[in-house]
Structure formats: C-alpha cells, structure tokens
Homo-oligomer: A and B are copies of this chain.
C-alpha cells in the first residue's frame, strides 16, 4: 500500500490557503498512486491557533474547511488535523482531532489524549483530553492514529525537576491491546536544537516497544516565534529510520508501507550540523513572519557589531538583499571601525545603506533636558537616550517606507537586561533573541564558511555598545563564555543556584548573573516576539511574575 506524507507550511486562520495546500497535496498523492495521504496536527487551522479557538466562528470555519477537503478525497483517503467541538455535556469545548476523510465524509476521528501544557504549549486551555482509544480499520491494516504528544508519555525533560512520566495515561499502551499494525502520529513539533534527537528517539522507541512501523508527519514553516523543522520520519518496527523528510522544507513523500515493514528501505540518518539547523531555522522564521504578515521589506540598524551583522546576513538570505535596508546611526562615541566595518558588510551583501548621525537629536535632547538635569553627572540616562534616538530613527524609516524593523538583541544580553527598552530592544521581530552570544559567533563563522561575508574585524573586535567613551561589554558583564554557561544552566536546565555554583562556576558571578536575570523580567515583558530555537526561549514559553522576590 502506498502512503504519502505531506509536510507543509500552514498559516493560522488562513483557511483558503491551508485548504489549497492540502487539496493540491491530495491530488499529487493520488497521482503518485497513494491510498492515504497524511497531514500534520491542526493543519486545517494552522498551529498554534491560541485564543482564536475561543471564537465559535473560527471553529465553524475549521469545520467548513474540513468538509470542503473531504469532498476532494475521491479514490484516496486523507488524514487532517482540526479542532472539533466536544459534543459531550461536560468538559472543554473542543477536541484536538485527527480526522480520516474519504469520499466526502469524515469516516474516523481520533482525539488527542495528552495535551502538552508547559513551555510554549497551552493545549489544556482549549481542549478536552480523550480518555477512550480505538484503532482505525483501513483495508487489512489496523491503524493506531495518534496526535503528537500522545506518543510523548515517556519523554525526558531537560529540567530534572519534571517527572519522566508527565501523564497518567499512555495512549499507545491503550491502543496496543487492540493489535494495531501501524502507528501514525500527526504532529506540530516546533524546532529546538537540543531536542532533535529526543524527538527521533520518541518514534524509534515506540516502534521498538510495540514492534510496529511508526509514521510521523510534522509541519514546516514558522508562525511568529515558533519554527517547525519538518524532518518527518518513517520508522521500521526494528527502530530504523526508513524515510526522513527534509528539514525546514515543504515536501510530499510517497512510500510503500510493506517495504517499510519488511525493512526493504535502507536506513537513513542524514542530519545537518546543529549550527546549520539554527541558521536555517532563523531564516525560515524571518521569511514566514514576513510572508504571513504580508510584509516584504525589512530595516536593520547596523552598529558594526556582530549581532546586527549576523541578523543582516540572515535577513538578506531570508528576504532577498533587495528587500533589506540598513541604517548606520553613529554618534560621537562611535569608533571609526564601526562605520567602516558596517559599510563593508552592507557592500558585501549588496544591501542599501544610509548613514545618519544621531548627533543633532542627541544635542537637542541634552539641551532640552539641561535645565532639569543641570549639575547632575552623565550616566545611563544619556546612554539610553542615544539608543532611543536610534530606535526612533529606525521606526521613522519603518513608518515612512513600510519596512519592518528587525531587532538584533541576543539572548545573553536579553537575559541580563543589557539593552535599552524602546531603544535597541525595539523591533517587530527579534531574530537572535534566543541565540546566546557565543552561538552568535558560531553563526558568524557558519555564514563565513565559504567566503568572508562578515568582515573579520566584526568577529574579532571586543564587543562594545559604544554609548560612552571606551565602553566594553566586559565592563558590566562577565566573559561571554562564562555568562552563557550560567545562563544555560539557569534558563534551559532550570538548575538551582546551589547546583550551578557546585558545577565549578564562581559563586559571586553566578549570584550576580542570576540576580540580573530575575530583576530584568520587566524589560523582557515588552520585548518583541523572539524566534525560538532552544528548549526555553524568552517569551510565551517562559512566564515569570514581575513583582516577585526570588
């Protein structure tokens, strides 16, 4: 039996586009002789629809679209994901469902049982968990049709405080007693560089445990901060990966189920290097933010430092160099190399650039505030004014020409609050807000892998905000290698302070850094959405109280 996996890029609430995508894949799969084509979780609505699910007309539109797609399933079956109303008297109003469509009808419905409600996931906010389980009979095959987390009941968390069995139910254990021949898992798994292997192991372990082939269908593309890497897999009952779809690309792949079961396919295990995956994830994230928001052009403030350099390279690749403009906004404190390095980078990328000094507005602010501030020493106030003038310039460019400002703050500085709210923290989308400074350097080296795109001096010079004479990041922060180690232990792994210190890091430095993290929640609260590449990004996946003492 031929089966097709449709790994596609959906847009939340864009029912027309999602329907067209799905219907054209159905037609392609049919042409390839498939009997079944499988789409990913909530493919009809796009994932995650969030509080749009609180609107009854949004859910009605999902149902209408499912009906329209069902009509296209002539001589082929399709499995799509959609929210459907819970018709029981009690419980949440919806189920997160996998629907089997055939000859104009929904012929089988599977409903998600394990509802991830941690990190960026909020599924119990909307969905009632399924408590009963049945396999779907498809010709001679009995299919265990599961939805994403349903197979993740034994996952390991990076935060050791989490239980290794988060749920009290194992859907596959329930389904296994009904002797299925095949496991299908439709998912919407967002990218996290540290979880790629974990994810594959979930499918490999389930395949081996039940000695069944497992077909995983993930989506690709990005919706705001969440980037979906695709990389759908088909796993043999022996736990070999028989098919692996590409990372970060749409793809329809047709295969013969019997070949997978018999182990006829050669195992595949191609996986790009981590830094390449991060690069591709960020590129996808930028591209889809613009495509799906119906934007075309971006503007970036280029400082001559490495953060804005890497962001510019990513934006130019994602959007096309002709769609990206940069402003260089030097002040009296800017070193000469910051302008020349930035210009060289813009020229290397053939990106339009303008140089505007911020001197005039800075002087005007100084004069206007002189009476009020008279006799007081210059401090962080004047540094912030410069950063805010730059943001105002960039936003003026954005407003006048319709370019979206991309934010270029990295995760290390966002963590410790080394940035100016309404200044360098401004922008419509944060490109590298989930990338630690040390990984920004790795990205720069990756970008320069074939030739020097980013001028060497940008990579080698000591990081500086250039907001006062002779300022360097290391005046206020520990060395980035040390800083990033602490940040990773505290943010991603959520280790207690005592354990972080016990790992060999300096006690005073650890305490100071963690205090900086906690006391800057208020700044991050107002940060733009951040493209997520780690298992714990700032933003919707990390919810800290502001008025807390901790």
Q: Would you give the shortest CB distance from A522 to chain B, in whole angstroms?
A: 6
Query: In the bound complex, how far is the Cα of B17 from the Cα of A52, in angstroms?
Result: 40
Tell yes or no: A313 within 8 A of B by CB.
no
The segment from A98-106, A356-364, A477-485 that touches chain B is A356-364
Q: Are B547 and A56 in contact (CB under 8 A)?
A: no
Tell yes or no: A165 within 8 A of B by CB.
yes
Q: Are B365 and A50 in contact (CB under 8 A)?
A: no
Contact of A529 among B93, B368, B525 (CB under 8 A): B525
Q: Would you give the shortest CB distance from A285 to chain B, in whole angstroms?
A: 10
For chain A, residues 500 to 550, give those with C-beta under 8 angstroms from any C-beta of chain B.
522, 525-529, 540, 542-550
Q: Which residue of B lies closest to A356 (CB)?
A: B368
* Tier of interface size on chain A: 35 or more
The segment from A138-146, A155-163, A207-215, A456-464 that touches chain B is A155-163
Query: In the bound complex, how far is the Cα of B360 from the Cα of A546, in angstroms?
Result: 36
For chain A, residues 399 to 451, give those with C-beta under 8 angstroms from any C-beta of chain B.
399-400, 421-422, 426, 428
Q: Would you give the shortest CB distance from A131 to chain B, in whole angstroms?
A: 9
Instruction: Chain B residues near A381: list those with CB within 8 A.
Output: 396, 399-400
A326-369 interface code vs B (CB 8 A; 1 in, 0 out): 00000000000000000000000000001011101101110111
Tell yes or no: A112 within 8 A of B by CB.
no
Q: Are B354 and A12 in contact (CB under 8 A)?
A: no
Instruction: Chain B residues near A49: list those with CB within 8 A.
Output: 545, 548
Query: In the bound complex, how far is the Cα of B393 from the Cα of A425, in angstroms?
Result: 17
Q: Would you give the shortest CB distance from A45 to chain B, in whole angstroms?
A: 10
Q: Are B384 and A50 in contact (CB under 8 A)?
A: no
For chain A, residues 22 to 68, give those with C-beta under 8 angstroms from any C-beta of chain B.
46, 48-52, 54-59
Query: In the bound complex, how far is the Cα of B514 from the Cα of A58, in angstroms?
Result: 14
Q: Would you give the shortest CB distance from A274 to chain B, in whole angstroms?
A: 25
Q: Which residue of B lies closest to A292 (CB)?
A: B547
The segment from A116-124, A178-186, A246-254 that touches chain B is A116-124
Tell yes or no: A224 within 8 A of B by CB.
yes
